[in-house]
Structure 1
């Protein structure tokens, strides 16, 4: 019976994800919002099993690959350039937010106690970059904003979990400033050191694993090898995972070798999409169960505290981002970096502080030592996540358009220009090989025609994207599409008559996909999203 309940829940999650994706494309609303809202609605469907997710499932099952993936694909040059705003947000703002929320909670609910209030503040302090960056990337916001928000979310999880752990320890053991400082140093330094050790070891064994399937399996193990042992050693598993991911990401492609890089990247992309989507749906489904246990407090009291905490989260972040110039100026290079962030960009960063499933997972980790208010604090965390997610994310598109910060075509043109430059370099190398008689002329001509065709296609697309140039003659795309269609028909005929095999059909078909204006246009639209 238990297996049937799990199967039903997974079917509901899959259905919600499919519906949310379809509605997101039509309505232009971030996936995360629709996933949570539809999850809440599905939670009240009669006959659906009650969903309660143990916090260790989220913290140890979902968190490591999500954090590792974000750290691995963090742009190292851009992250170093924006180290000052990332540092002030991840460390300074997270700490200030924790204390502000703790003070607000204790003032409104004095029976909770300071230790539990600080633990609750640490739970809702870290931001969830997925919903914010998904909006920013789809609309074509300045890449620098995305880099700062992603860098912040990588580190503030570790900061918040460290503060949370110290607060939980103080619930059962006496707390002193000296003990807290020593424990903080142990958690941070130990986590970073262990993460570097994992990254170094992975680089050493990389060359010994040559089978593509084995490489992908090993790749999936890395986040857990960094996170779980670190937690068992009493250091920060989040910081260990972030450090390992960033170390490997800045030194090649981790454990993947060129032959398996395409398959591995596709596997990793699908895995992260499924994990993120499942987390948001589970958050929505679990709210039904959480709302049934508010503790000894009335719903009016809970609503007041929820609105007060949500307002504190938004105002503290907004004020910090708009007025933290003097603090940032004290850091090396702070004045120079801050000059590049005008008030419009600061405003977007300040209003991009949505909370996500990680906050709920941290809140669910509150021990029974938190007392009778534990259930109420968990409900508060869930409601705060809902208010910030549903209340803030829809405002970002209007804010970006109103402030004139949309650069939708810049990244697309940058990618196409890079591809064109690479193909031109390959064409030049081919000519060198032909001149040195290292390749026969027939082979050189075959590859030369293929490279020139791809360069021409990219140049046509660059001309179409560049509005400063004259528009291409009408009908060019239709002619190219008709020519590709004729080639596809001929290719299918050869396969049906047994003249070519399935592998050849797929390989040449992929080359035709690259040349088809309809396919490349759809890919371009997907990149915009």
Structure 2
């Protein structure tokens, strides 16, 4: 992009595409990639050359931080074994299998650089899989595993890419070098991440201004990743560790106003960044194919071979990793073997994304002795893996989940658990109110008791199903009409000059907060 105008055009198209996807119930990542593919050949449309540093340092950290903030640490810990098997074991397995296939098809290319390509295409995208999984309503545990995998697998792939690239350009790489690289990258990332939790958690706890809290939250992922990169540690691991720690402790670190504002800000940031990322991937097509000089037959053959290897390797790894571990009695007792439907869906959810393309653009320019290799072909292969897995697998994942009848989470059990905990919370609140009752007027105490009873009743009403309108739903419907009427009166008074603008703003703010609470309770 050569100008601010081009950047605005790109962002506007990304927003429009995401909005259309929401309007028509489509999957935004897929729609935006397809739109980008088409626009890449439109004459006069801004040409975009993706900078790997922009992706790995500018776009990926906030996306990972957002995902980590929302990830349940207890659920992550509970599913740590399958997450690590996918995020570490599967990435290494896929990288070596793809590297071997490419080396067999291109024997003149050293295995080290073929392995580097394998590392590039091995990790599923941190955004695509979870965006699609949440959109189609996959079971909570499947989403947790996919989220956990996507939070860590980039770190594994980037470490493997760095080691393979060092070997490809002639650096001596032994077992000790690999171990040191893993220790510095992963261990250093964990240290930086824990330091980020301590430092930024302390700052969040001391800040009482919601705007400053929001500004600090925006700064955190960039500060953490840049610090990690300074010591050659994994910025991905550092950002994920910081995000998990801050997210888990957020109720203790921030005020209610800060949490509400930060939640709204990160939802907006995710909407813009995710739309931009997938559009940028599609827009790379013109640049990727520009310097390709491979004959069509050989290009199609090696592309099909790499695609098949990437897709099949995930299933070849998943089923043994899922069921062989259950041969251990302790594992089987703690976590019984799941139905085959679950690894099938997880296997089909291996969509690649922008990190794969950024990593491909970071491949070495030449080999150890200065000889060239088909680098542009490797970039094309990475791009093809992204587009095909994202469009083909992403578009068909909902149908696959429906066809195999993957059992959904039980909403009745969720509502029962929520109501039970709400009952305990209400008891604790009632006990606290009883202690403090003498310090307030009786009318105030009675009103608080009614509010508490209504909140408890609402939790139990959700168990009643959707056959008829519950009292809380009727309350929300009628109160919404009342709020609309109040807004109209305040607006007319402002227009007639009876109240200043500041009074209207305060009244609208209070009514907006109440309406947002009504909408949340009706969900």
Question: What is the TM-score normalised by the length of structure 1?
Answer: 0.87
Gaps of 5+ in 2: none
Structure 1 residues 509 and 430: CA distance shift in structure 2, 3 A: farther
Q: Does 1:345 align with 2:342?
A: yes
Q: Which residue of 2 aligns with 1:2?
A: 2
| Pairing partner for 1:265 from 263, 266, 269 | 263
Cα deviation, 1:26-72, whole Å, max 9, x if unaligned, reads 2x432111110011111121111321011111011011111222223
| 1:150 aligned onto 2:147 | yes
For the pair 1:488 / 2:517, whether they are aligned, the reply is no
Answering whether residue 29 of structure 2 is matched by residue 32 of structure 1, we say: yes
Aligned to 1:233: 231
| Offset at residue 337 of structure 1 (A) | 5.2
1:120 and 2:117 aligned: yes
Work out whether residues 90 and 152 of structure 1, in 8 Å CA contact, stay in contact via their aligned partners in 2. yes
Q: 2:199 and 2:520 mapped to 1: Cα distance?
A: 40
Moved more, 71-80 or 245-254: 245-254
Describe the superposition over 1:298-333 as per-residue Cα deviations: whole angstroms up to 9, x where unpaired. Answer: 233222212111111111111211122465358895
In the other structure, the counterpart of 2:384 is 383
Residue 477 of structure 1, CA deviation: 6.2
- The CA distance in 2 between the partners of 1:200 and 1:131, in whole Å, is 30
Question: How far did 1:228 drift?
Answer: 1.4
- Work out the CA distance in 1 between the residues paired with 2:59 and 2:10: 19
The residue number in structure 1 matching 2:430 is 428
- Where structure 1 has 5 or more consecutive residues not aligned to the other structure, the ranges are 466-470, 525-529
Match of 2:167 in 1: 170
Superposition TM-score, scaled by structure 2 size? 0.88
**How many residue pairs are counted as aligned between the two chains?**
510
Question: Superposed, which structure 2 residues align to 1:58-457 within 5 Å?
Answer: 58-172=55-169, 173-252=171-250, 256-294=254-292, 296-325=293-322, 328-329=325-326, 334-336=331-333, 339-370=336-367, 371-407=372-408, 410=411, 413=415, 417=419, 421=423, 424-425=426-427, 428-429=430-431, 432=434, 436-453=437-454
Cα distance in 2 for partners of 1:271, 1:487 equals 30
1:180-206 residue CA offsets vs partner (Å, 9 max, x unmatched): 222222222222222222222222333
Distance 2:172 2:490 in 1: 79
Q: Is the 8 A contact 1:212 1:260 kept in 2?
A: yes
Contact 1:31 1:131 (C-alpha < 8 Å) held by counterparts: no
CA drift of 1:472 comes to: 2.2
Provide the aligned C-alpha RMSD in A: 3.0
Q: How many angstroms apart in 2 are the aligned matches of 1:224 and 1:349?
A: 31
The CA deviation at 1:140 is: 2.5
For the residues of structure 2 that align with 1:483 and 1:193, how far apart are their CA atoms? 51
Give the structure 2 partner of residue 527 of structure 1.
Answer: none
2:469 and 2:15 map into 1 onto residues whose CA distance is: 41
Equivalent residue for 1:468? none
1:472 corresponds to 2:484: no
Name the CA shift for 1:122/1:423 in 2 (closer, same or farther; >3 Å). Answer: same
Equivalent-residue separation in structure 2 for 1:413 and 1:41 (angstroms): 45
